Amino acid sequence: MTARVNRPLPATVAQLCLVTRCPSPGVASVVVTGEVDMATEAALRAALLDALAYNPVVLEVDLSACTFLDCSGVRVLVAVHARATAAGCLVRVRHPQPVVRMVLEMTGLLALLTATANANTVAATAETELGVAPVTSPASSEPASRPAR
């Protein structure tokens, strides 16, 4: 299933195209094309949060066509990562362009956002790196498991 997210941007703003796909059960993918900066961060945040509404196990953010990412975009990725982790979802950035990869490396986020890990590793990393406590079930101190699909 492919859903195109049409978010109108002012004509003076660099265009950003966001395409959300669900390539397989439990996986949502958002393909980012263009520049992510202060003018386009709201559209990126909305697309990523819309993808999380599908309750995926993995949210992939494809940055292969993203030509620019500033601190606004980094802030969106960190916030969405924290929210997804709290819901038991792994956020994975895929194929960042060299300039985008450099930004993620300089901020120390490349390893966190490109890792393939299980849910317990994701929760532990989020707690350590972002200060986000894992969601626990009321009967135990173990992280809550996701509902069966």
For position 138, what pLDDT does the model report?
Answer: 38
**Alpha carbon distance 77, 72 (integer Å):** 9
Higher pLDDT: 139 or 115? It is 115
Lowest mean pLDDT among 9-13, 100-104, 120-124: 9-13
Across the range 61-74, mean pLDDT stands at 96
For position 1, what pLDDT does the model report?
Answer: 52
Higher pLDDT: 27 or 130? It is 27
For position 90, what pLDDT does the model report?
Answer: 95
Tell which CATH architecture fits domain 2-6+16-130: 2-Layer Sandwich (3.30)
Across the range 74-79, mean pLDDT stands at 97
At residue 138, what are phi and psi to the nearest 5 degrees?
-65, -30
Closest CA to 132 of 82, 81, 75: 82
Total-model pTM: 0.69
What distances in angstroms separate CA 68 from CA 35, 48, 86, one per listed residue? 5, 17, 28
| pLDDT category of residue 22 using cuts at 50, 70 and 90 | confident
Q: Which two tokens stand for residue 131?
A: 């200060």
| pLDDT category of residue 58 using cuts at 50, 70 and 90 | very high
Q: Mean pLDDT for the chain?
A: 79
Closest CA to 134 of 74, 89, 85, 96: 85
Across the range 33-41, mean pLDDT stands at 95
Task: Answer yes or no: are the C-beta atoms of 27 and 56 closer than 8 Å.
Answer: yes
- Start-end of H helices in 1-149: 41-52, 71-86, 98-106, 110-114, 119-130
